[in-house]
Structure 1
Amino acid sequence: MLEGKRQKQVAGVIHEELTTIFTRLSLNIVDGGLVSIASVKVTPDLLEARIYLSVFQAQNKQDVLRKIEDRSHEIKRELAAKLKHQLRRIPEIKYFLDDTLDHVFKMEELFKKIDEEKKP
């Protein structure tokens, strides 16, 4: 199903504000790994926002996700303060790991192996 215009607008605003909040709360570097917000998806009723986090060079990505979830109340409070004049209700925020980079690295490795096998 396609996202509506309002969903995209709300997702964009949430993405911008969360990026600033993560920087201010020092959540962009957790356990020596770099954390960035890959994308934000908002449900059609605008009551839930799914935040996809990209974690780079962290030992355990699940621990990083858990630490961010532990501070989710603080993050949502700051987000509500920023968006209180733009949204009637602040969406429920759920965090997920974005594993697109992992798939890209796996595909690159497979292509390298194929290239090496083709060479005589």
Structure 2
Amino acid sequence: MRFTKDHEWVEVDSNGIATVGVTAYAAEQLGDVVFVETPAVGKAVKAGDGFAVVESVKAASDVYAPISGEVVEANAALGDAPETVNAAPEAAGWFAKVKLANPAEVDALMDRHAYEQYLQTL
């Protein structure tokens, strides 16, 4: 699993499909999630661009694509159960699966140790 400074995570499978979500830290900062808008299947995303929206009792926030590619699956379950983002942010609370356009983008992201070190600076 790799991480961004915007608190998204990416996990890439052997077929070059990246599962994307928000970190436990982000879920904690958001508070109780009440709505999630996932990206449309087929949407082209570019690293750094907003590609999903998460609303909590505190605020609405964009979720930024940590990598570039094409959305091949969205987590439709979040529509009926947005609280999954809080309950399992780095598992069942994923937002989308993206076919990687540039696998090297993943290498530029932080590993868990580097991300945890980054959190210490916040």
The reply to whether TM is greater than 0.5 is: no
Quick check: which has more Rg, 1 or 2? 1
More helix by share: 1
Give TM-score scaled by structure 2 length: 0.29
- Structure-1-length-normalised TM-score: 0.29
